[in-house]
A and B are shown apart, each in its own frame.
Chain A
């Protein structure tokens, strides 16, 4: 055995050498980005359950994946070229999961759950089991606030087209404004998988930044008098109503937009398990164990899509800016909806609950409560804001369903 030759092979095979190869510096930048995301997740606790996984997935993929002659290195955990072949219509491996399983790395195999839409749907199952739709049932008009707060989705979509993205990509960028991570991942993996990394990171980062993004807009668009409005208690909702609700929503929404079936179907099934009272074990499992397991897979496999060569582009910067605008416009849409309700109700509705229509349960509702209580310390808006908040989940799923129906 020639020791020198072995050492030479080891050196050539090491990632350190690859940093100095063509484009290797990009991997170094992405490793720095992943460290920044880890810092934000761990130290600043920005959506840590997902961001830590995404950041570590980003780290793993950029440490293991160096492109040599257009192909991933042999030890890569994630192979973008396999997924390009998977998406190439008429190609030998078009939609061939077998090819991925046979030739992919660990993260390729985990990514199948994202690509197939499995993980976001399972996350919705858990969200449904964790969500109490009682506040929405007691005041169904809040659904309109959930609809109004989707304004950012469509404005960002329009902005993305103006910036040169194609329709599929623009739809995926727009959905960031829905402030709903699983929905954004679901839609992007179907329409523009090449943008999944930046879109998922933007969506989750902005969701974590809601307490910073929303309050200035809330103060800008409402008067002190409006913020001080104390809302009356809503009616008590019976158990039977709560059981019937998921069945009715599934029927109405899926019949209206069949493309929402995976998300709305899972959301409502999870909620039915929660409310029916005879499936506590299942409800508990999807809320905790399953949710945690899927979060592990989802985080790491989304992180895997942040391959340096495709992430470090001008488009990523555009997505970050458009995502922020989408969030802001969704908040504005919700607040304007709230103001309309304030006028129509003769000053009985506090417009601050409108900003909670951007989904992001329950953080957006907490922000409404906080800002409302600041204006009037005896004000308790949390339960009132939960109505538009959960309506936002349904609203963003409908928006995603519409975009999917138009562009798929």
Chain B
């Protein structure tokens, strides 16, 4: 329904004053209504964000109670019997070292059990 409450030409000062006050009130009511809606919207999103944060915090709190993850298995040196741990030693070099040791000991490589191969740095000596 249109709001044609008065014609433009016959407006008196009293009517103009009332229209001005009414108009100002309408602007306030409109924006107040919008404000309420935005606060409700904000509250919903804030509670969602809090829930997500609480869940994250709970997950983080639960994490230290678990056993520390096992150290990943070091790759086996090619050709050796059993497991051999390598520390900063590439495959090729490990294979060469094991071959040299076997040759020096005059034993077949598959009868030797290498536990680990580690490069000894100069500053560690």
Chain A residues near B17: list those with CB within 8 A. Answer: 158
B24 in complex: contacting residue of A136, A151, A166, A394, CB < 8 Å: A151
- What's the nearest-Cβ distance from chain A to residue B34, in Å? 5
**Is B33 in the interface zone, CB < 8 Å from A?**
yes
- What's the nearest-Cβ distance from chain B to residue A377, in Å? 32
List A65-99 residues whose CB lies under 8 Å from chain B: none
Chain B residues near A248: list those with CB within 8 A. Answer: 34, 37-38, 41
Q: Which of A19-27, A50-58, A396-404 contacts B (4 or more CB under 8 A)?
A: A396-404
A235 and chain B: residue at smallest CB distance: B46
Please encode chain B, from 33 to 56, with 1 for each CB lying within 8 Å of some chain A CB and 0 for all others: 111011101100110010000000
Contact B21 A146 (CB under 8 A): no
- What's the nearest-Cβ distance from chain A to residue B5, in Å? 6
List B1-37 residues whose CB lies under 8 Å from chain A: 2-9, 11, 13, 16-17, 19-21, 23-24, 26-35, 37
Chain B residues near A256: list those with CB within 8 A. Answer: 29-30, 33
- What's the nearest-Cβ distance from chain A to residue B58, in Å? 21
A154 in complex: contacting residue of B23, B42, B46, CB < 8 Å: B23
**Is A408 in the interface zone, CB < 8 Å from B?**
yes
Contact B37 A252 (CB under 8 A): yes
Contact A143 B32 (CB under 8 A): yes
A251 and chain B: residue at smallest CB distance: B37
B42 in complex: contacting residue of A137, A151, A405, CB < 8 Å: A137
Contact B31 A154 (CB under 8 A): no
Contact A167 B7 (CB under 8 A): yes
Chain B residues near A253: list those with CB within 8 A. Answer: 30, 34
- What's the nearest-Cβ distance from chain B to residue A16, in Å? 41
B5 in complex: contacting residue of A137, A157, A245, A406, CB < 8 Å: A406
Contact A162 B32 (CB under 8 A): no
Contact B34 A241 (CB under 8 A): no
Chain A residues near B11: list those with CB within 8 A. Answer: 161, 166-167, 170
A158 in complex: contacting residue of B7, B16, B27, CB < 8 Å: B16
Q: Please report whether the interface of chain A is mostly helix, strand, loop or mixed according to DSSP.
A: helix
A143, A395, A408 pick with most chain B CB within 10 angstroms: A143
Contact A249 B34 (CB under 8 A): yes
CA distance A288 to B93 in the complex (A): 64
Contact B31 A147 (CB under 8 A): yes
CA distance A144 to B45 in the complex (A): 22
CA distance A325 to B49 in the complex (A): 46
Contact A144 B28 (CB under 8 A): yes
CA distance A167 to B45 in the complex (A): 44
A167 in complex: contacting residue of B16, B30, B34, CB < 8 Å: B16
Chain B residues near A150: list those with CB within 8 A. Answer: 24, 27
CA distance A408 to B2 in the complex (A): 9
Knowing A154-B23, A398-B30 are in contact, say whether A143-B35 is a contact too (CB < 8 A): yes
**Is A238 in the interface zone, CB < 8 Å from B?**
yes
B31 in complex: contacting residue of A146, A157, A162, A241, CB < 8 Å: A146
Contact B16 A147 (CB under 8 A): no
Chain B residues near A154: list those with CB within 8 A. Answer: 20-21, 23-24
Contact A244 B27 (CB under 8 A): no
Chain B residues near A137: list those with CB within 8 A. Answer: 38, 42
- What's the nearest-Cβ distance from chain A to residue B8, in Å? 4
Contact B35 A157 (CB under 8 A): no
Contact B38 A140 (CB under 8 A): yes
Contact A166 B8 (CB under 8 A): yes
Contact B19 A140 (CB under 8 A): no
A157 in complex: contacting residue of B19, B27, B38, CB < 8 Å: B19
- What's the nearest-Cβ distance from chain A to residue B7, in Å? 7
CA distance A334 to B5 in the complex (A): 29
Q: Which residues of A contact B (CB under 8 A)?
A: 136-138, 140-141, 143-144, 146-148, 150-151, 153-155, 157-158, 161-162, 166-170, 191, 235, 238, 240-241, 244-245, 248-249, 252-253, 256-257, 259, 391, 394-395, 398-399, 402-403, 405-408
Q: List 9 A-B contacts (CB under 8 A).
A: A143-B38, A144-B31, A147-B28, A162-B13, A167-B9, A167-B11, A252-B33, A394-B34, A398-B31
